[in-house]
Each structure stands twice: as structure tokens, then as C-alpha cells.
Amino acid sequence: MNANTRKLHDLGQRLWLDNITRDLLDRGTLARYIADLSVTGLTSNPTIFEHAIGSGASYDDAIQKLAARGLSEEGIFFELALADLTRAADLFRPAFDASDGVDGWVSLEVSPLLAGDRAGTIRAAAQPHARAARPNFFIKIPGTPQGLPAIEQSIFDGCRST
């Protein structure tokens, strides 16, 4: 374990990775970050996934299979994102359990295009949260005037969101 990142952790700092790629998962890099660098969470957003999907060929086969099933571009995006994020949530689950939910979180942000749409944000948050079905998975909702009541409603509905 890296002594410097462990010291940060022991002082109360939580290191989160602001990146996710299929290669990061497939090559064991994320697992090593968790074990060796005290990384305790991961955040993502549509821009992060757009970059991950657009660089390299690691998503190409999955995209072709999903497109052949007739999924829309948005549907393909969410299938890919949920596949990666649920894998990441599973890797972080021991930290989540050991810390009683303080550490070990993985997040996905709703589309920023919904920042002004309360009802659309609530719908967009509920579906991936339910499909992920992981206690350490949450949905990020923009803190706009329309987003705040969407956060409240989503939490009321049982969707972990912030």
C-alpha cells in the first residue's frame, strides 16, 4: 500500500477516481488503485464515458451487439455505463461494507441537458439506479433550482442521489 495515500486516508481524506474505462476494469488497474493507493470511490459523468468509449476499441464489440439489438445511442450509452459502473461498485463493495457506507461509493451523473427539467431528471435518475441494484451506487443530479426538488423526490423514491 502506498504510504502517502494511506496517510491521507488515515487523516480523513478520501481519494476518488474521476475516471472509468473498460480497460481500467479489465486490466485490474482499478482493483490495484483500491488495494494499493487507498482509492475509496469513483465518480463518472457522460463526458467521462464519451471519452472512454471514443478512445480505443475496448467498447467496439459491445456497441455492435447493443446496436444489433436495436438500442438507441442513449440506450447503448447507459448499457455500457451501467456494465462498467456495476463492476466498479462490486470492487468498492468491501470498502463500503467495512466503513458502514462512508467509503466505497460509485456514481453516475444524469445528463446535464436535464438540469432544468425536474420530472425528466427524476425519471433519468430512477432507471439506472434501479438497474444497478447496488447499495453503493448513487446518481448525481445537478444542484439547479429544478434539480433540488428532483434530488428530494429521488431520495424519497429510494434512489440514492446527490
Q: Assess whether 7 carries a catalytic annotation.
A: no
Measured between alpha carbons, how far is 48 from 57 in angstroms, rounded to an integer?
Answer: 16
Measured between alpha carbons, how far is 159 from 162 in angstroms, rounded to an integer?
Answer: 10
In the set 87, 93, 123, 140, the catalytic residue is: 140
Look at residues 14, 19, 63 and name the one whose alpha carbon lies nearest to residue 38.
14
70: number of Cβ within 10 Å: 7
Which residues participate in catalysis according to the annotation?
Answer: 140
